[in-house]
A = this chain, B = another copy of it.
């Protein structure tokens, strides 16, 4: 099974209460791919300028990420974003955005990508996201991300897109904005009525909520004593999630729960370093160990229950 991601490739400049990083490799497609690469090959579609260094390509290639779909715009500059985190590390402020070559990004899938089984559409204009669906020859399990901006200015495009995808990933506030509902169960159901049979609501340090036709599930995040930089945590979560789905070749609710757990694990590594450095020297065995920690955390001693009540 193959996995294609379409999204941004960027230079991020990040300030946190404890440090700062300038012009680091970032972007939704990058964070997604780094996390998903532990599970198998990932095919990336994105755009960069001539300023994108070979070292970044080499890092991604060494992880098994296929860059055949990474377009380079002659004379162009790569997308730049800078932001600053507040004390709680849960909230941030965008300091500057230079879309550069990303502004006119028209994703063009290489022929070898078009028969994919799994597709992730990173945050972007819904019309651009829809243009990718027009190019695939297979009927991939498609997960789409979005943000408040598109819910605000392109709601009808987004609603049209939602009728064509399997799952939507978004955060708590975005789910409330899109559905008009504060209650997470009702919000998830209303969004599912728009099309996707699954909605995954990201709740940051509070974990994730799955709204699915077969049931609703809340899972916690892995508590972390040291959050260095949460940038890309949502995309790393999606990468681990879809890497797991690709590997298990299942998309039922039980498989989605396991996938959310793996996404929780990859997101936790992402948070432990600036940019993509949270994955430096992290092996598949490290991910497995943390998955076991997570599963043990959720396990309730079975002996106790019948004696209790």
Residues of A within 8 A of B (CB): 38-39, 87-89, 182-186, 203, 205-207, 209, 216-225, 227, 243-244, 247-248, 250, 254-255, 257-258, 261-262, 284, 287-288, 291, 295, 297-301, 304-305, 307-309
Q: Is the CB of A309 within 8 A of B38?
A: yes
Q: Is the CB of A300 within 8 A of B298?
A: yes
In the assembled complex, the Cα of A207 lies from the Cα of B300 at a distance in Å of 15
Which partner residue on chain B sits nearest A216 by CB separation? Answer: B223
Q: Is the CB of A308 within 8 A of B39?
A: yes
In the assembled complex, the Cα of A254 lies from the Cα of B287 at a distance in Å of 24
Write 21 A-B pairs (CB below 8 A) sorted by A numbering: A39-B308, A39-B309, A89-B183, A183-B224, A183-B227, A185-B223, A216-B223, A218-B297, A219-B220, A244-B304, A247-B307, A247-B309, A248-B307, A248-B308, A255-B301, A255-B304, A258-B300, A258-B305, A291-B305, A291-B309, A298-B300
Q: Is the CB of A309 within 8 A of B288?
A: yes
How many chain copies does the complex carry?
2
Which partner residue on chain B sits nearest A297 by CB separation? Answer: B217
Q: Which residues of B contact A207 (CB under 8 A)?
A: 206, 218, 220
Which partner residue on chain B sits nearest A17 by CB separation? Answer: B182
Which partner residue on chain B sits nearest A262 by CB separation? Answer: B308
Q: Which residues of B contact A184 (CB under 8 A)?
A: 205, 223
Q: Which residues of B contact A203 (CB under 8 A)?
A: 206
Q: Is the CB of B305 within 8 A of A284?
A: no
In the assembled complex, the Cα of A24 lies from the Cα of B209 at a distance in Å of 34
Known: A184-B205, A207-B220. 4 other contacts (CB 8 A): A206-B207, A218-B221, A258-B304, A261-B300
Q: Is the CB of A258 within 8 A of B308?
A: yes
Query: Which residue of A87, A183, A287 has the most chain B CB atoms within 10 A of its CB atom?
Result: A183
Which partner residue on chain B sits nearest A205 by CB separation? Answer: B184
Q: Is the CB of A262 within 8 A of B205?
A: no
Q: Which residues of B contact A223 (CB under 8 A)?
A: 184-185, 209, 216, 218
In the assembled complex, the Cα of A220 lies from the Cα of B186 at a distance in Å of 18
Q: Which residues of B contact A185 (CB under 8 A)?
A: 223-225
Which partner residue on chain B sits nearest A257 by CB separation? Answer: B300
In the assembled complex, the Cα of A227 lies from the Cα of B301 at a distance in Å of 29
Query: Which residue of A220, A227, A250 has the most chain B CB atoms within 10 A of its CB atom?
Result: A220
Q: Which residues of B contact A299 (CB under 8 A)?
A: 298
In the assembled complex, the Cα of A254 lies from the Cα of B183 at a distance in Å of 31
Q: Smallest CB–CB gap between A131 and chain B, Å?
A: 32
Q: Smallest CB–CB gap between A61 and chain B, Å?
A: 20
Q: Which residues of B contact A258 (CB under 8 A)?
A: 300-301, 304-305, 308
